[in-house]
């Protein structure tokens, strides 16, 4: 089961934005979509993504709690 299903919509949206920013640096624009972002998020795993979410929350890019269940 994918850990993406345990994320809130806000958490998933924030992680997709981060993944797309990184993806933009290495890939053509036609690949900037949610599916590709989800692949990147899945490849990094829940621990790395939890750290990224905490950073987003701490820098006030995103408000709320980090809840990632594995």
Q: Cα–Cα distance between 57 and 37 in angstroms, integer?
A: 19
Give 14-66 pLDDT, tens digit per residue.
888 888 887 778 878 777 889 888 888 888 888 887 787 788 778 766 555 44
pTM for this one? Answer: 0.66
* Between 12 and 1, residue with greater pLDDT: 12
The b-or-e profile of 26-49 (16+ CB within 10 A means b, else e) is eeeeeeeeeebbbebbeebebeeb
Domain ranges (residues) in the chain:
3-58
């Amino acid at each position: 089961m994918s850990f993406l299903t345990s994320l809130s919509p806000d958490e998933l949206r924030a992680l997709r934005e981060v993944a797309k920013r990184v993806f933009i640096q290495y890939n053509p624009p036609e690949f900037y979509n949610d599916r590709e972002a989800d692949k990147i998020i899945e490849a990094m795993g829940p621990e790395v993504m939890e750290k990224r979410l905490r950073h987003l929350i701490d820098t006030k890019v995103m408000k709320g709690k980090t809840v990632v269940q594995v």
